[in-house]
Structure 1
Amino acid sequence: MKTVTFAVPCYNSAEYMDACIESILKCDGGEGDVEIIVVDDGSAKDDTPAKADAWAAKHPDIIRAVHQENGGHGEAVNTGLAHATGRYFKVVDSDDWLDEAAMREIMAYLRRQNELEEATDLVIGNYVYEKVHEGTRTVMHYRNVFPEGREFGWDEAGHFGQSQYLLMHSVIYRTELLREIGLTLPKHTFYVDNLFVYVPLPHVKTIYYRDVDMYRYYIGREDQSVNESVMMGRIDQQLRVTRLMIDAVRLPDGVPEKRLERYMENYLSMMMCICSIFLRMIDTDEAEDEREAIWSYLKANNPDVYRRIRRSVLNMGTNLPTELGRKIGISGYRMARRIFKFN
């Protein structure tokens, strides 16, 4: 069995996919236990399909190219998971890359786990926001949250700080755990990385954290999904993902550990805040109706969680009434973005 499968969703990625794949290849280190599945998600505007095939031909024992009709990021992840033969599964977006030194430490642990009958469910590393156009970087770590360098459970997790969340960039799941829970991401939907991380968490019993800057997350392209104007244009997909998160995990009953339940509620609160703030940025009657609808959906499906999230500092500030309240909420979001360096 391969130690880890890296899935690389590619959509018109010819300009930057080579650097991504090269960084993953270094994880193998001549061991032959790494698998890279390059998923060409219906690319038609550049030579992504040809590049994927060329990589597979050059490294046939490591790289496989899979071509499919365009189904979006989530469907590309689904395809990678369906083809994975590794004990672990990691998604690396085609414009991002992995740090060679950090991955040497991560891979050493994964290789030890691959020899065991009961392997760790979730392996976590840091990720770095690389704002290449600004020449800045921001490290997102978890050294205040998790014990470092040993296996542990949720009962040993500490308090997550503001803007400190587990994202797709920072997680490596045991492949069979994802398959056992039937994780499937929706087609033609952005922001499904939230589902990928959030839904499996209640099923995770064992965790390992390494305080190394594993994943480099590129920020800066105008068409990027986290660009503010792009997010407003795709607000329907943000709303869809948030509803799916509400449906997928019943809080608190569906979460076995109080510290994890608190984290997941805070994460859902953040998602509700994002929905609210971008609908207020759009500033139309239809957007206001949508804002009321998503809150009504949460209230109908989980009234206790609705009351706590609606009264949280985060969402009280983003849902203040009147035009002045709208402006205060948007200003607060943009200030937080500057402080915490996201987007």
Structure 2
Amino acid sequence: MNENVLSKVLTIVVPAYNAEKYLKDNLDSFCIPELLSDFEVLVIDDGSTDHSANIAEEYVKRYPDTFKLITKKNGGHGSGINTGILNAAGKYFKVVDADDWVEKEPFMRLIQVLKNSDSDIIASGFYWVYDEGQKNKMEFTRKLEMKMPFAGVDYNKEYIFDEIADRVYIKMHHITIKTAILKEHKIKIDEHCYYVDAEYITYPIPYVETIRFVDAFVYMYRLGRQGQSVSIEKMQLNEKNYDKVIESLLTFYDRLEDEVICSEAKKKYIAGIIARIVAGKMKIMLSYPAINSRKLSMIDFDKYLRKNYPAIYYGNINIALSILRRTNYLLYGIASMLVRHKYS
């Protein structure tokens, strides 16, 4: 991709599946007249059976130079992102889920930074926003995901990623990344699968050299709506998806030895990401009634990691999992009870 001929500084990809209830909030948040020429919004309709495509088409008609609608057969969230990567024309790339939105002033600040930056990743902040059914989303309770990316951060500085890799964790909603990295290295994540955010934030890392942080909380991440995939019930139902993502991540990690050139700092960072996903898998296993067969399954999986992926095993920062390991899983029953009580 020749960045010198790009007319847009940013491609925003909105994967949408049956999102008619939320999509207008999402797309309205980008309708900032003074910025419309700076970015494109690709709404990827993932085989919706509701009016999502019709809603998107209204914005295409109003702002044809900014909004584009791409319709496709259902393939899941990852498929929407993959399609977005293939069709993106902006210098930078960001995913904003159809039920989320961006805040005007912080988004304007992000665009300004993108215009004047050549860093591989631009990281901005986000809020957890709790939707409890209020009609006005301004009434939703907000919680900062984190106040700052690390102590002493200089928001005006371009950092070498390796030099701060042990101090940061860049989540899906933080990240705005150079489109060229995704295209040139053929980044592709699993389709027909939940929880692929972990793949999206992991696979480009070996190719990232620089990162810059924006002092702006751009992304509003909606939580609490019925059926959301991060609820413990949904995680139980989709446990095999979690397993698939972990398997894909471990396969990718294995490739860092031979096929993908990766610094030690980045490799350790990637191990830390996978360790967090492993902790999520353990939470799912603990959320079921405590029976000996599940306990043995957890122990076997843990032994497998310790033997084959020690950097991932020892990269764990989850306190509950650390306690289970230190007590040789003697507290398994209590841990299971506490997890089930928390999510009951």
- What is the TM-score when the length of structure 1 is the normalising length? 0.84
Alignment-derived partner of residue 95 in structure 1: 99
Aligned: 1:14 with 2:20 = yes
Alignment-derived partner of residue 256 in structure 1: 263
CA deviation map 1:287-330 (0-9, x unaligned): 55754564465456x34325525798553335565674242266
Residue in structure 2 matching 1:183, options 179, 182, 187: 187
| 2:24 partner SS | helix
Question: Which moves more between the two structures, 14-23 or 148-157?
Answer: 148-157
Alignment-derived partner of residue 164 in structure 2: 157
Does structure 1 retain, via aligned residues, the 8 Å contact 2:128–2:143?
A: yes
Question: Which moves more between the two structures, 6-15 or 270-279?
Answer: 270-279
| 1:29 partner SS | helix
CA distance in 1, matches of 2:274, 2:237: 21
Letter of the 2:24 counterpart: D
Letter of the 2:112 counterpart: A
Structure 2: state its 5+ residue gaps: 1-5, 133-139
Specify whether residues 184 and 330 from structure 1 end up closer, same or farther in structure 2 by C-alpha distance, changes over 3 A only. Answer: farther
Does structure 2 retain, via aligned residues, the 8 Å contact 1:4–1:33?
A: yes
CA distance in 2, matches of 1:312, 1:136: 24
Alignment-derived partner of residue 155 in structure 2: 148
CA deviation map 1:98-132 (0-9, x unaligned): 1111112211121124xxxxx32111001111113
Does structure 2 retain, via aligned residues, the 8 Å contact 1:122–1:204?
A: yes
CA distance in 2, matches of 1:150, 1:34: 24
| 1:189 partner SS | coil
Does structure 2 retain, via aligned residues, the 8 Å contact 1:146–1:157?
A: no
Alignment-derived partner of residue 124 in structure 2: 125
CA deviation map 1:38-69 (0-9, x unaligned): 0111111x211211222212211111101111
Residue in structure 2 matching 1:221, options 220, 225, 228: 225
| 1:65 partner SS | strand
Specify whether residues 88 and 238 from structure 1 end up closer, same or farther in structure 2 by C-alpha distance, changes over 3 A only. Answer: same
CA distance in 2, matches of 1:327, 1:146: 39
Alignment-derived partner of residue 73 in structure 2: 69
Alignment-derived partner of residue 308 in structure 1: 314
Residue 239 of structure 1 and its aligned partner are, at CA, apart by 1.3
CA deviation map 1:158-178 (0-9, x unaligned): 754xxx732110000100101
CA distance in 2, matches of 1:252, 1:78: 22
Aligned: 1:265 with 2:271 = yes
Residues 40-119 of structure 1 mapped to structure 2, 5 A cutoff: 40-44=45-49, 46-113=50-117, 119=118
CA distance in 2, matches of 1:145, 1:194: 27
Letter of the 1:121 counterpart: D
CA distance in 2, matches of 1:279, 1:332: 10
Residue 154 of structure 1 and its aligned partner are, at CA, apart by 2.1
CA distance in 1, matches of 2:312, 2:112: 43
Does structure 2 retain, via aligned residues, the 8 Å contact 1:251–1:265?
A: no
CA deviation map 1:251-295 (0-9, x unaligned): 98554143x444332222211111112112224677557545644
Letter of the 2:154 counterpart: P
Residues 178-327 of structure 1 mapped to structure 2, 5 A cutoff: 178-250=182-254, 255-258=262-265, 260-283=266-289, 287=294, 291=298, 294-295=301-302, 298=305, 302-305=308-311, 308-309=314-315, 313=319, 315-318=321-324, 324-327=331-334
CA distance in 1, matches of 2:157, 2:28: 29
Alignment-derived partner of residue 340 in structure 1: none
| 1:210 partner SS | strand
Does structure 2 retain, via aligned residues, the 8 Å contact 1:239–1:294?
A: no
CA distance in 1, matches of 2:69, 2:59: 8
Does structure 2 retain, via aligned residues, the 8 Å contact 1:269–1:314?
A: no
- The size of the alignment, in residue pairs, is 324
CA distance in 2, matches of 1:318, 1:55: 52
Question: Which moves more between the two structures, 95-104 or 309-318?
Answer: 309-318
Alignment-derived partner of residue 3 in structure 2: none
Residue 180 of structure 1 and its aligned partner are, at CA, apart by 1.8
Question: What is the RMSD computed on CA atoms of the aligned residues?
Answer: 2.9
Specify whether residues 314 and 154 from structure 1 end up closer, same or farther in structure 2 by C-alpha distance, changes over 3 A only. Answer: farther
Does structure 2 retain, via aligned residues, the 8 Å contact 1:7–1:92?
A: yes
Aligned: 1:32 with 2:37 = yes
Specify whether residues 179 and 287 from structure 1 end up closer, same or farther in structure 2 by C-alpha distance, changes over 3 A only. Answer: farther
